[in-house]
Amino acid sequence: MRQLHNAIIVSLITASLLAVAAIVSPTIARAEPPAPEQAYAPNAPASGPWRSPVGALDLLTRFDPPPEPWLPGHRGVDLAAGPGLPVTAAGAGTVVFADDLAGRGVVSIVHDNGLRTTYEPVEPLVAAGETVTAGQTIGRLQPGHTSCPGRACLHLGLKRGPLYLDPMLLFGKGKVRLLPRPGRAEAER
């Protein structure tokens, strides 16, 4: 008798849950799908679509992060471009910095998944807080970046949190370099 009683209770609970599920499921169906797994993989920083900020991807100086954070290095890539030409957002996001920084114009954009791109030296044409789309003009290129003397170039940086990444990864190029260490093999370079 007790077993029958329990079976009835279980049936009632099951029916109730099904009813609740039927009510709730349309909401669940409308919910945003979870971010794809690859968005968090170190070798796939791009949530895309990403676009070159200066048209053709003419790499002048490659990504060369220092073995320790306090050492000199090249924490981004230099892309060839003409002075005064428009610089565009590599991806959709929100401008978090657009101002002068130590005598050079800098624009930083935060994207999905915590990625941040930085463009310099540029004369900003956007302001902090603005949302931008991929390919939208955010500034005009200024001459004077130190690692490509004698010609204008855009220094493009990519970070996730405190970690600098090779910006060329956004465009399906570049190498993954996790936590560079002293004495790394020359082959990794």
- Residue range at the interface with Zn ion (CB under 5 A); choices 13-21, 28-36, 77-85, 160-168: 77-85
Site for Zn ion in 122-151 (CB under 5 A): 147
The long-range contacts involving 109-115, CB below 8 angstroms and separated by at least 24 positions, are 109/138, 111/47, 112/35, 112/39, 112/47, 113/35, 113/39, 113/40, 113/45, 113/47, 113/160, 114/160, 114/161, 115/45, 115/46, 115/47, 115/91, 115/158, 115/159, 115/160
17 vs 101 by CB, closer to Zn ion: 101
Q: Does 155 bind Zn ion (CB under 5 A)?
A: yes
Token reading at 126: 């956007």
92 vs 141, beta carbon nearer Zn ion: 141
| 78 in contact with Zn ion (CB under 5 A) | yes
Task: Identify which of residues 80 and 134 has a Cβ nearer to Zn ion in the complex.
Answer: 80
Min. distance of Cβ 50 from Zn ion in angstroms? 19
Instruction: Give the number of residues in contact with Zn ion, rule: CB under 5 A.
Output: 3
Minimum distance from residue 62 beta carbon to Zn ion (Å): 10
Residue 14, interface with Zn ion (CB under 5 A)? no
CB 75 within 8 A of CB 157: yes
